[in-house]
Amino acid sequence: MNTQLFKNSALYKLRSAENIKSKIIYVIYFVTGLFFLGGSLFTVLKSITILLTQSGLPILLYPIIFIFIFIQSLLGYGLLFCRRWILILLCIHVGYSLLYTFLLLPYFNLERLMVSSGVSTIPFIILMLYTIYSKEYCSGKTVSYFAVIGYSLVLAALIVINIMFGEYL
């Protein structure tokens, strides 16, 4: 196996870490990265299973499924390979979530969704704070334009879909 390809991965850095603090930080990056990539894989497999066993899904669910797969894959890759731009993605995610929860939902009279939206933001806030704490352990560019622009557009599309069709989902 070519170790040059994976030299920035959390697993490779974990194996070469010298102190226990570094090892714990890389274990957390590795586990959370696997969690997001596993969620992405599960979403793909579950979607294929539903498509093969049922007559079809509502057309609105296709972009939502794609959005969740894209978000989970990008976060999983960034965490698993300890990329610096993951901090920007998490800040964008938390910012969008807070904007959605506290400004857009009340504006569109969807207050019943505020609690679930607010609670689902908490793990991302914790992960963002952890990434801020451990950013010196990450490598790569601070800003990846593909990741930042793609992630922002996909989250904006998800918010528009939720606002337009929130009561039907």
Query: 88, 14 in Cβ contact below 8 A?
Result: no
pTM value is 0.83
Contacts of 116 (CB under 8 A, 6+ apart): none
Query: What number of residues does the chain have?
Result: 169
CB contact burial 90-100 (16+ within 10 A = b; e otherwise): bebbbebbeeb
Contacts of 6 (CB under 8 A, 6+ apart): 12
Radius of gyration of the chain, Cα coordinates, nearest whole angstrom? 18
Each residue's pLDDT expressed in tens, for the chain with a length of 169 residues: 555 557 778 888 888 888 999 999 999 999 999 999 999 999 888 888 877 777 666 777 778 888 888 999 999 999 999 999 999 999 999 988 888 888 887 877 777 778 888 888 899 999 999 999 999 998 888 888 888 888 889 888 888 887 787 665 5
For the chain, the domains span 10-165
- H runs (alpha helix) in 54-144: 61-80, 86-99, 105-107, 114-133
Whole-angstrom Cα distance, residue 94 to residue 100? Answer: 10
Picking from 33, 139, 43, 159, the residue whose alpha carbon sits closest to that of residue 92 is 159
